[in-house]
Amino acid sequence: MKFVVRSQHIISVGGYIVERNFPYRNIIVVNKTSEDVKIEVPVFKEEWIEEHRNLGLEIIPVSEEDSFLTLFKRAKAELESIKEN
């Protein structure tokens, strides 16, 4: 299944991670480009991260020790500063 990340938007795909042994509990996807990008969901393997970075997306894996909210807010603030310029 494909999911579209609109240009200059940020999403979380934690609900689409289906592997029990996946090392991250969530993934933040940031599209800083001026074009919409299609991503593959659900997420089954770690290689998904590199494959989607190659599409020009910023991929931020969130581990159990990380604060999702802090990482999301930081990425959102960075994205907003790009939009303003």
Q: What is the pLDDT of residues 64-84, one digit of tens each?
A: 999 999 999 999 999 999 888
Instruction: Tell me how crowded residue 28 is: count the other CB atoms within 10 A of its CB.
Output: 21
How far is the C-alpha of 6 from the C-alpha of 10, rounded, in Å? 8
Report cis status (omega within 30 of 0) of the bond before 42: yes
Residue 85 has pLDDT above 80, yes or no: no
14-23, 41-50, 66-75: range with lowest mean pLDDT: 14-23
Question: Which tokens belong to 50?
Answer: 């590199």
Provide the whole-model pTM: 0.93
How is residue 48 annotated by DSSP?
Answer: H
Residue 21's pLDDT is what? Answer: 85
3-class DSSP assignment, residue 77? helix
